[in-house]
Amino acid sequence: MNVNQSVPPVPPFGQPQPIYPGYHQSSYGGQSGSTAPAIPYGAYNGPVPGYQQTPPQGMSRAPPSSGAPPASTAQAPCGQAAYGQFGQGDVQNGPSSTVQMQRLPGSQPFGSPLAPVGNQPAVLQPYGPPLTTAQVTTQLSGMQISGAVAPAPPSSGLGYGPPTSLASASGSFPNSGLYGSYPQGQAPPLSQAQGHPGIQTPQRSAPSQASSFTPPASGGPRLPSMTGPLLPGQSFGGPSVSQPNHVSSPPPQALPPGTQMSGPLGPLPPMHSPQQPGYQPQQNGSFGPARGPQPNYGSPYPAAPTFGSQPGPPQPLPPKRLDPDAIPSPQLSELPPQQKTRHRIDPDAIPSPIQVIEDDRNNRGTEPFVTGVRGQVPPLVTTNFLVKDQGNASPRYIRCTSYNIPCTSDMAKQAQVPLAAVIKPLARLPPEEASPYVVDHGESGPLRCNRCKAYMCPFMQFVEGGRRFQCCFCSCINDVPPQYFQHLDHTGKRVDAYDRPELSLGSYEFLATVDYCKNNKFPSPPAFIFMIDVSYNAIRTGLVRLLCEELKSLLDFLPREGGAEESAIRVGFVTYNKVLHFYNVKSSLAQPQMMVVSDVADMFVPLLDGFLVNVNESRAVISSLLDQIPEMFADTRETETVFVPVIQAGMEALKAAECAGKLFLFHTSLPIAEAPGKLKNRDDRKLINTDKEKTLFQPQTGAYQTLAKECVAQGCCVDLFLFPNQYVDVATLSVVPQLTGGSVYKYACFQVENDQERFLSDLRRDVQKVVGFDAVMRVRTSTGIRAVDFFGAFYMSNTTDVELAGLDGDKTVTVEFKHDDRLNEDSGALLQCALLYTSCAGQRRLRIHNLALNCCTQLADLYRNCETDTLINYMAKFAYRGVLNSPVKAVRDTLVTQCAQILACYRKNCASPSSAGQLILPECMKLLPVYLNCVLKSDVLQPGAEVTTDDRAYVRQLVTSMDVAETNVFFYPRLLPLTKSPIESTTEPPAVRASEERLSNGDIYLLENGLNLFLWVGASIQQGVVQSLFSVSSFSQITSGLGVLPVLDNPLSKKVRGLIDSLRAQRSRYMKLIVVKQEDKLEMLFKHFLVEDKSLSGGASYVDFLCHMHKEIRQLLS
């Protein structure tokens, strides 16, 4: 089969094919005889009836027919000897200093209804009518943007001035979403109310083929910045005659694909010329708050002649790279007065993420993405679209940095565009899309190439009348086994091609035979072990009681396979402080029994029978245990905990039971008790920006990696829920979850009343989500390229196999490819990702994803088919791994250099000749600078003063497994104005750019980045809005830091709360709401996420970074 041909529509796989028994799927899913194949994961993708309505606590359960009544309270359940080992009398150490930890004030009682979490489809907007021009955006178009770019004049305090007296603000912040605590007295300079001009993004009127940087036709005086070709209906925002800079620009017509921006960096306005006809004084605020001196890039930009044709005095050679940290920040007072009148680029004239996202939604969100054609660039992750699998894997499973890759390694090296795929093998699909079909080839197992072991796929070529097939990966000719033989039609295609998923679809599963199982034995169903810290901190905060209460109901919603009535997963329970307590919850017992293991140095599992049980069979005993645990430890004084022995115990228990599984650890403190893996507090912020900073990200001891390796061998995945009051060394504690494919959740300064909604939502989703256990992933490629590097939460013991003790539907593995030979334009390049795993019912399966890419001999084809969001995902992961080994500054420099090389190569090889003063960006990469800047100034690479070492390690770990949609919103948050759109509108309001100057003080905004959620209230908000949303009569009465909106019966309240719920449902973690008032001290927290602005930690603004990038490119080209 020619992979380039488009596959005809696939008929439904409904017709039973008696010859191929596996195809009906009658053996699983409980749909025997049904003509419609069962969806293996239907139970997880669909809603769980009834559960979401369950109140967070107190769900009572009918007692089983056998078993004792639940024990009431503190009655000791088992022998006094055992109990006494950890009883109060033995406690030597009283409450530690952690007890006196500063507590952040709780702001509001927990009160809003629980948002449904977990099984929500990620699709919010309805799919519109089909549009026939969906691919139009892949056509590049020329555009040219000009505008005077120069550092802004020091403004009169419109938000970028020097710190004002507001720095005296004091008090502590409420317990915030991601970052639990913030130092006091570090309030940023706050902008003044009148500094919010209320600029909205320009109306989207221009067709996408043309310049998308059209400044708004109206909207006050703007920099006359555009010289691109005029389209009907377009107009420019200012008189271009007043732009002397544009004279040097070449005529804009017949531009090559790409985005040209000149002026800003190009021919600069005469720096010291007092008369600048094109630039009006900005005191009217129309351009938003003007910026003060930009310390990071302060020294190069004043040197106007560096940038363009402007004659000037000889300049010293600029440094090879600007180092934001090395350049002293010029104080306002030190600047020569002339520089204070310099002008800034018009933010509307530089590529807007919002515009790109909206254009893609409009152009590609209305008709399904059909995967039959090789090398198609899918819609953006921010666009809602349906996928029809016609031979290539859905972009929900695989996204690539480019869908057209260079034929030779020389070309690839020249372009410096990383060739990578972000793979999410078990991605959840929206309900409209079917999960992969499961194919059963019986005892013979899946058909594979004898040489390279690739699995049968639509790209394999059948020859010799169907008796042989040629491997599309290695070209080996293989015999077709007799039972798989089928005739070919006149085109050489098997006549049963469309009846077989593995011959017609991009994604499908095979049932694995015993050959694919450990020790040649089919696996047992996996087990979940809940391991609960019952030290003083865990008890005191109410965590243990909350958790035990929740587990009583949550255990009924363990993952199930297909139509199974109950989950096959067995459960076990351990509690611990500096010793471990195992529980026998065998169904025949009247009461649970506890066994204590105090020899943590040599961990063993004291019981086998009765430790891992079926929930239904042991319901009464489990329920009794969960009632008793909070009571048993209610008076504990034990503050010390162990950690490694706990995981060791869980892993040993799984080993003894000969099954894979998952440990859920609920842990509160730095494990300082004497035991393997004992840690010390080594937090040292003084290491930041030194060569030793990397040690903050490295584990303290090797014990954790050793343990992780053992866990992977056992298929023991670890999910870690942390509830720290202070430093717990996330960098070390997260090693095992990271290497076993698990997740880490962190709730700093946990308080039940403030944080239970977030914790319980995360817990429910985590326990219920589909997981593959004991998994191995291999990515095969056609000759010419191969997978060389991998990023994600997994372990590798060789260079090709990604080992995952567990893999859930949220986790991605990013794979980088390099050439090892020449690729061929005709045959393209193929990827096949094969994931071998054990399902939650204990079935061994192979999930296969195939993707065909184009190959090119022209660099322009590469740049035309790139996906910036995926590039950023790769680059962030690359950088976040780099900080383990290199100084953070070196990592940032590497990113900047690579980005400049990518763009310089485009300019040199793909763009038509134009003035050197123009910045020309490929259409597909026009957001690369803004997004890269967000990565550079993220907490891991450039932390602010309020970011703790644990926060950085936590985020670093999270990003490692993120998919493209998650990294996109994490690095460039969504900012949604709430009162602009009609109240009856049910769709999400269009976002605005993440910059303070986009905020109107008469509006309210939601900001989310996948982890944090803010509601920002402008100081001039209408009283009616305040009343409708907060049930108070004025802005001043709104409680800053509020965590829940009151439930009010009016349209606005319903709309905003509904929007919050829907934002939460789109994300894999619960986002806790924080209400922020304009001018309030909490606003600093919020402004951290306005990523187009200069950050307090020294991160460049978008405009400045673009200037910097342009300079880097020009240096490479000169």
What are the residues binding Zn ion (CB under 5 A)? 449, 451-452, 454, 471, 473-474, 476
Tell me the closest approach of the beta carbon of residue 480 to Zn ion, in angstroms: 14
- CB under 8 Å to 82, separation ≥6 — which residues? 594, 595, 596
| CB of residue 450 to Zn ion, shortest distance in Å | 7
Residue with token string 């506890």: 594
What's the min distance (Å) between Cβ of 818 and Zn ion?
A: 20
Q: Cα(196)–Cα(194) distance, rounded to whole angstroms?
A: 5
Name which of 454 and 833 has its Cβ closer to Zn ion: 454
From the number of C-beta atoms within 10 Å of its C-beta (0-12, 13-18, 19+), residue 729 rates as: buried
Residue 476: CB minimum distance to Zn ion, A: 5
Q: What is the 3-state secondary structure (H, E, C) of 714-740?
A: HCEEEEEEECCCCCCCHHHHCHHHHHC
Tokens of 724: 């720290």
**Shortest separation between residue 448's beta carbon and Zn ion, angstroms:** 8
CA–CA dist 11, 990 (Å, integer): 38
Token code pair at residue 546: 């909350």
Strand-pair category, 919-921 with 258-262: antiparallel
Q: Tell me which residue of 1, 828, 848 sits closest to 505, measured CA to CA.
A: 848
Dihedral angle computed from the Cα positions of residues 1007, 1009, 1013 and 1017, in that order, rounded to the nearest 10 degrees: -20
Choice between 2 and 125, CB closer to Zn ion:
2
Nearer to Zn ion by Cβ, of 454 and 823: the residue is 454
Please say which residue, 502 or 766, places its beta carbon nearer to Zn ion.
502
CB of 778 to Zn ion, least distance (A): 13
Least CB distance to Zn ion at residue 139 (A): 36
Which residues neighbour 168 within 8 Å (Cβ) at sequence distance 6 or greater?
A: 185, 187
Is the Cβ of residue 473 or residue 697 nearer to Zn ion in the bound state?
A: 473
When the beta carbons of 86 and 469 are compared against Zn ion, the nearer one is 469
SS3 597: strand
Q: CA 573, CA 613: separation in Å to the nearest integer?
A: 10
The smaller minimum CB distance to Zn ion, of residues 365 and 784, is found at 784
**Cα separation, 588 vs 573, whole angstroms:** 17
State which residue, 101 or 474, has the beta carbon closest to Zn ion: 474
Residue with tokens 């017609």: 504
- DSSP E strands: which ranges in 694-843? 716-722, 744-746, 771-781, 785-791, 802-808, 813-819, 829-838
Least distance to Zn ion, CB of residue 472, Å: 8
Q: At closest approach, how far in Å is the CB of 483 from Zn ion?
A: 20
DSSP assignments along 306-317, one per residue: GTSS---S--PP
- As a dihedral over the C-alpha atoms of residue 707, residue 711, residue 717, residue 723, rounded to 10 degrees, the angle is -20
Smaller CB distance to Zn ion: residue 452 or 607?
452
Q: Is 309 exposed, middle or buried (0-12, 13-18, 19+ CB in 10 A)?
A: middle
- What span, in angstroms and rounded, lies between the C-alpha atoms of 214 and 576? 62
Which of 472/712 has CB closer to Zn ion? 472
- For β-strands 785-791 and 813-819, DSSP reports them as antiparallel
Q: How far is the CB of 454 from Zn ion (least distance, A)?
A: 5
Quote the least distance from Cβ 780 to Zn ion, whole Å.
Answer: 8
- In the bound complex, what is the minimum distance in angstroms from residue 912's beta carbon to Zn ion? 43
Report DSSP letters for 416-469, one per residue.
----EEEE-TT----TTSPPPPEE--GGG-S-B-TTT-PBP-TT-EEEGGGTEE
Residue 870: name the closest of 819, 927, 828 by CA: 927
The two structure tokens encoding residue 261: 């921006």
CA 150 to chain CA centroid, nearest Å? 34
Q: Identify which of residues 459 and 473 has a Cβ nearer to Zn ion in the complex.
A: 473
Closer to Zn ion at the Cβ: 373 or 474?
474
Nearer to Zn ion, 452 or 634 (CB): 452
| Dihedrals phi, psi of 423, to nearest 5 degrees | -110, 130
| DSSP assigned state of 798 | S
Nearest to 516 by CA among 138, 800, 837: 837
Residues whose CB is less than 8 angstroms from the CB of residue 333 and which lie 6 or more positions away in sequence, other chains included = none
Nearest Cα residue to 1090 out of 993, 988, 970, 991: 993
- Residue number, 341 or 470, with CB nearest to Zn ion: 470
What is the nearest approach in angstroms of Zn ion to the Cβ of residue 6? 24
Phi, psi of 336, rounded to the nearest 5 degrees = -60, 145
Q: Judged by CB, which is closer to Zn ion: 169, or 452?
A: 452
CB of 846 to Zn ion, least distance (A): 16
Quote the radius of gyration of the chain (alpha carbons, Å). Answer: 30
Nearer to Zn ion, 32 or 450 (CB): 450
Residue 1040 backbone zone (phi > 0: left; psi -120 to 50: alpha; other: beta): beta
471 vs 767, which CB is nearer to Zn ion? 471
- Residue 983 · residue 1004 · CB < 8 Å: no
901: enclosing H helix or E strand: helix 888-909
Q: Are 136 and 366 in contact (CB under 8 A)?
A: no
Q: Who's near 362: CB < 8 A, 6+ residues apart?
A: 204, 208
Shortest distance, CB of residue 782 to Zn ion, whole angstroms? 9
Shorter beta-carbon distance to Zn ion: residue 30 or 481: 481
